[in-house]
Amino acid sequence: MSERTAVIASRVGLHARPAGIFVAAVGELPLEVTIAMAGEPADDAMDASSILSIMSLGASNGDTVVLRAEGEGAEEALDSLVKILETDLDAE
């Protein structure tokens, strides 16, 4: 199981637009990726390919989230997802 943490950079948090971009990126991966708030048990992690799960996470700007995935290419995949979360998508 690979694991990465990311700090949400979007000023308004992980809401519709940034969440949409993130979910679309997860959807392109051949892996199952989960997302959880830092400090929460891995069992409570949510499906990162679900925009509604991502939004219900309620991650605000500055919050730390944990991404997890297993399988071939998981390390690289998670690195690319962290990059998305740590970019202020509202600024673009």
Partner 1 sequence: MIVQTLSGSAGAGQAPADQAETGRTFSGVGVSPGRIIGSILLMPKAVREPAVGEQLVAGTSAEDASALLRTAAKAVQTNLTARSSSASGTGREVLEATALMANDPMLVKAAVKLINNGASAERAIWDAAASVAEMLHNLGGYMAERATDVLDVRGRIVAELRGVPAPGIPYSDTPFVLVGEDLAPADTATLDPAKVMALVTSSGGPQSHTAIIARALGLPAVVAAVGVDSLTDGTLVFVDGAAGTVLVDPGGDEVALAKAWETTTAALAVFDGTGRMKDGHLVPLLSNVGGAKDAVKAAAAGAQGVGLLRTEFCFLERDTEPTIAEQVEAYRGVFDAFPGKKVVVRTLDAGADKPLPFLTDASEPNPALGVRGYRTDFTSPGVLERQLQAIAQATEGTEAQVWVMAPMISTAEEAEHFASLCAAAGLKTPGVMVEVPSAALTSASILEHVDFVSLGTNDLTQYAMAADRQLGPLAGLNTPWQPAVLQLIRLTVAGSRDEGHNKPVGVCGEAAADPALAVVLVGLGVTTLSMTARALSAVAAVLASVTLPEAEQLAKLALTAHSAADARRIVREKLPILNTLGL
Binding residues with partner 1: total (CB under 8 A)? 19
Q: How far apart are CA 24 and CA 35, in angstroms?
A: 14
84 in contact with partner 1 (CB under 8 A): no
**Cα 1 from Cα 20, distance rounded (Å):** 25
Closest CA to 23 of 14, 11, 36: 14
Q: Does 66 bind partner 1 (CB under 8 A)?
A: no
52 binds partner 1 (CB under 8 A): yes
Could you give the count of Cα atoms lying within 13 Å of 9 in the half-sphere of its Cβ?
15
| 84 token code pair | 């998305």
Q: Of the listed pieces 35-43, 51-59, 67-75, 79-87, which binds partner 1 according to CB under 8 A?
A: 51-59
User: Can residue 50 be called a binding residue for partner 1 (CB under 8 A)?
Assistant: yes
Q: Which residues bind partner 1 (CB under 8 A)?
A: 12-13, 15-17, 19-20, 23-24, 46-47, 49-53, 55-56, 58
